[in-house]
Amino acid sequence: MLPYGRQSIDQSDVEAVVAALGSDWLTTGPRVAQFEADIEAVAGAPAVTVTNGTTALHTAYAAAGVTTGDEVVTTPMTFVATASAASLLGAKIVFADIEDETANIDPAAVEAAVTPRTKAIGAVDYAGHPADYDALRKVAEGVGAVLIGDAAHSIGSTVHGRPVGSLADLTTFSFFPTKNMTTAEGGAVASIRPDLLQRARTFRTIGVVREDLRHPDEGAWFYEVHEFGNNYRLPDVLCALGSSQLKRLAAFKARRQQLTARYDELLAGVPGLRLPIQREGVDPLRHLYPVRVLDGRRREVFERMRAAGIGVQVNYIPVYWHPVFTDLGYRRGMCPVAETFYAEQLSLPLFVDLSDADQDRVVETLHTILGS
């Protein structure tokens, strides 16, 4: 089965990991700080590494101060973790509908959803196309909320030359194998605000602090915990892979853009198919190639593509359809644009080592099914 996404690992990646394994530090060593500096160079803001994209979201919401009784406004068109990581901190999730064109959270819907209790607004850069952070920032500032970008899809993307990582107050990344780059499991939180980044760092290190101690004269061994945290440290072995992958990110971007342009060209004009768009000023590192299958044929196309050995995917089930949310009273129909998008959405295979020949087979199979 041709997968919809997969990692690209070369000899340089293997050598970087082997070198880390032979070093003095398997975790909490120099490769962690190195990877964090390498992320900053791409993201345009300092970063803290964590164990995955889900714990990155948990860390970012905690750093934003999200707690019981707060509201967090986010998109339903995402992986469940974008919302559930805030639920774990006791927040009430308020879903705002998406834009039809980009499937990103709609700033007008966010404006209508915020209240004085809104602590954070969580956007997602769907498929690698950045959300409209300038509009979202205005709404966030209006209610004093922290703006969070879930950039699990979009490391390496820019808007008018500004990198993802510098657009929101806090930005989270995932380095799962299907994403734009990988550390097997891994993630990071970047922030343009030093206070928020420090809180993120403390949260991912069990809440341990060595400055501003209540009892500063105890001795050099002394540390304190002022707020609960978790051990979300990413080991040196995986940070080594991350730094190596970041060296290849420009090449990853070029190949994904090339494959995207080929899909755009080869699928143009296919009846019953809507292709993704790109806004002016956006230079995306495309994580997904999401098409829309019209006329109620998405399920048929999904099943026939899978039967032909092509691992298409659906991204995503509206988050509030999950029983963990319906049990809390969330109902289908809440975000109609997202539900229509879901009903039509299909992700075609897109990864760095996808060959032109395999991509041609995807395109031909789609042409055959849709009768064009």
Ligand X SMILES: *Cc1c(COP(=O)(O)O)cnc(C)c1O
Q: Which positions touch ligand X (CB under 6 A)?
A: 52-54, 78-79, 81-82, 124, 150, 152-153, 174, 176, 187
Q: How far is the CB of 175 from ligand X (least distance, A)?
A: 7
Q: How far is the CB of 124 from ligand X (least distance, A)?
A: 5
Nearest to ligand X of 127, 369 (CB atom):
127
Catalytic residue (choose from 119, 179, 247, 253): 179
Retrieve residue 310's tokens.
């092509």
Crossing angle for the helix pair 30-43 and 236-247, to the nearest 10 degrees:
30
Retrieve residue 369's tokens.
């099914």
Nearest to ligand X of 184, 363 (CB atom):
184
Nearest to ligand X of 88, 363 (CB atom):
88
Q: How far is the CB of 364 from ligand X (least distance, A)?
A: 28
Nearest to ligand X of 78, 157 (CB atom):
78
Question: Which residue number has the CB closest to ligand X?
Answer: 53
Q: How far is the CB of 125 from ligand X (least distance, A)?
A: 8
Q: How far is the CB of 351 from ligand X (least distance, A)?
A: 14
Nearest to ligand X of 319, 370 (CB atom):
319
Q: How far is the CB of 318 from ligand X (least distance, A)?
A: 13
Contact residues for 144 (Cβ-Cβ < 8 A; gap 6+): none
- Is residue 287 within 8 A of residue 157, CB to CB? The reply is no
Q: Is 179 a catalytic residue?
A: yes
Nearest to ligand X of 78, 245 (CB atom):
78
Using alpha carbons only, give the angle 209, 213, 215 rounded to the nearest 5 degrees. 135
Crossing angle for the helix pair 11-21 and 236-247, to the nearest 10 degrees:
150
Q: What residues act catalytically?
A: 179
